Amino acid sequence: MQLSYKAPCSKLVNLENIWFQLSKVACNIKCKHCYLDCHQDTRKRNFLPAEKITDAFKLDLPNLRMVYLTGGEPFLHPKINEIIRFCLKKSDVTICTNGTLVNEKKIKVLKTIEAAFLHKICFKFSLDHYMEGRNDEYRGVGVFKKVVNAIKLANRYNIPFSIVCVNLKNEDETLVRKGFSELFQKLGIVYKEEYIKVIPLLKMGTYSKYYNISDKTNTVTYEDLIDFDMEILDCKTSRVISSDGIYSCPALVNDPRGRLGEKLEDSSRNVYLETQTCYDCVNRQDGLFG
């Protein structure tokens, strides 16, 4: 459903990235700032049926570069190994995970699966601070240690990884990167700038409930787009396949304004940049997710 026809719009240029949202609600932790509204209730997990993935790949996808598996927490999906195997036939696969379920046994299983394909697996770990207390204040006690362990394992088993850091307190990005580089040094891992993606806090989902925030503040104007390189926006090259339809980007999977239709064929519909998140996206001059 399109709610407004006044906002500027973005259109898909090339479908290079497909995000499969394996569940909108299932997660094994409960972050205070979850941009969705995930919970640990085992009765309402609403997993993406594996057929949605096989159906998507029936289309010709000549520009596909990367498949992202996301959630919630993708490792909770009961068919995760089967899904990874299927996606690796078509593309490299990035698993976007909170890292707390990644242990040595799981890494060995992933390496075995990967060995049968030319395409590769990589990880995107969520870690919101290089200091344990600052991360765990929002993500839960004990989470930092588990993610650090997952990073060490990925490094040891040569699985490429990056870290998505939500800049919870709007700290200076240079200092955030310096903190991560020191953390990596302590872990004995060579630090590379591209390992860290710092993104702003998305004030939606659990966060907006917890802090009683309402969306409507700023919207993208046509003036904002003068001299702006639209190509950097994820919605130019990506689509999300979720249990209830196709969305323009991972940030808008719980927002009817991000929904484009039922099937991947609906991907080319206009994306109206009318949310606060679109405004943040455009004004930070960098893609949020890819």
Question: What's the CA gap between 282 and 290, in Å, rounded?
Answer: 14
Tokens of 115: 């060995």
End-to-end CA distance of the chain: 25
Considering only the stretches 59-67, 75-83, 169-177, 274-282, report the one whose residues sit in contact with ligand SF4 under the rule CB under 6 A. Answer: 274-282
Considering only the stretches 50-58, 66-74, 79-87, 151-159, report the one whose residues sit in contact with ligand SF4 under the rule CB under 6 A. Answer: 66-74
The answer to whether 16 contacts ligand SF4 (rule: CB under 6 A) is: no
246 and 23 Cβ atoms separated by less than 8 Å: no
For ligand SF4, the closer CB: 31 or 87: 31
Sign of CA dihedral 32, 36, 42, 44: positive
Of 235, 240, 241, 260, the one binding ligand SF4 by CB under 6 A: 235
Of 17, 21, 94, 126, the one binding ligand SF4 by CB under 6 A: 126
With tokens 């497909």, the residue in question is: 18
The answer to whether 73 contacts ligand SF4 (rule: CB under 6 A) is: yes
Of 98, 135, 219, 237, the one binding ligand SF4 by CB under 6 A: 98
Of 127, 233, 253, 264, the one binding ligand SF4 by CB under 6 A: 233
Which class for 22: exposed (0-12), middle (13-18), buried (19 or more C-beta within 10 A)? buried
Show Cβ contacts of residue 198 under 8 Å, excluding neighbours closer than 6 positions.
Answer: 165, 167, 173, 176, 177
Considering only the stretches 56-64, 105-113, 192-200, 269-277, report the one whose residues sit in contact with ligand SF4 under the rule CB under 6 A. Answer: 269-277
166 and 137 Cβ atoms separated by less than 8 Å: no
Binding footprint of ligand SF4 on the chain (CB under 6 A): 10, 27, 29-31, 34, 36, 38, 71-73, 98, 126, 233-235, 248-249, 251-252, 271, 273, 277-278, 281-282, 288
